[in-house]
Amino acid sequence: MHSSLYSSKHECLLCGDVITNPICYNCIGSEVEEWLSSRMPKLKPKLKKTGEMFASYTHHGTRCILCGDNMNVCTHCYCYEVHKMLEDYPRLAEEFVEFFNFELRGSPVSSLA
């Protein structure tokens, strides 16, 4: 099956999932950065590095609903990388998951309700 330019389905280059809520890493990244600024500013350079990793994936794909940039990697994969970046700071990582309200695939987040 040839994918046409106007295909409504775009798959994430990293996980292969259909991108249902296209928000690019840049847009998410600035949210995360704001959050980090108030929580642990010293991690901001690390966050930037994570973003740079994703920059190489911005080829023709779908468009970010916020800024309109081409994007090919889902929000989930970006959040996953950021979460990995926070692994030395479990509390922060937990907060991140709550704040950005995403579920870690494969490892169900147990709520402490």
Judged by CB under 5 A, the residue of 24, 79, 85, 92 near Zn ion is: 24
Residue ranges in 92-111 that form contacts with Zn ion under rule CB under 5 A: none
- Applying CB under 5 A, does 74 fall inside the site for Zn ion? yes
The smaller minimum CB distance to Zn ion, of residues 43 and 62, is found at: 62
Instruction: Name, in order, each residue with C-beta under 8 angstroms of 23's C-beta and a sequence gap of 6 or more.
Output: 64, 65, 66, 71, 75
50: exposed, middle or buried (Cβ count in 10 Å: 0-12, 13-18, 19+): middle
Residue 79 as a binder of Zn ion (CB under 5 A): the answer is no
67 scored as a contact of Zn ion (CB under 5 A): yes
**Total residues contacting Zn ion (rule CB under 5 A)?**
12
Neighbours of 80 (CB within 10 A): 17
CB 38 within 8 A of CB 96: no
Select from 12, 36, 47, 79 the one that contacts Zn ion (CB under 5 A). Answer: 12
**In this complex, which beta carbon is closest to Zn ion, that of residue 101 or of residue 111?**
101
From CA 9, how far away is CA 70, in angstroms rounded? Answer: 14
Q: What is the DSSP letter of 41?
A: G
Shortest Å, Cβ 75 to Zn ion = 8
Q: By CB under 5 A, name the binding residues for Zn ion.
A: 12, 14-15, 24, 26-27, 64, 66-67, 69, 74, 77
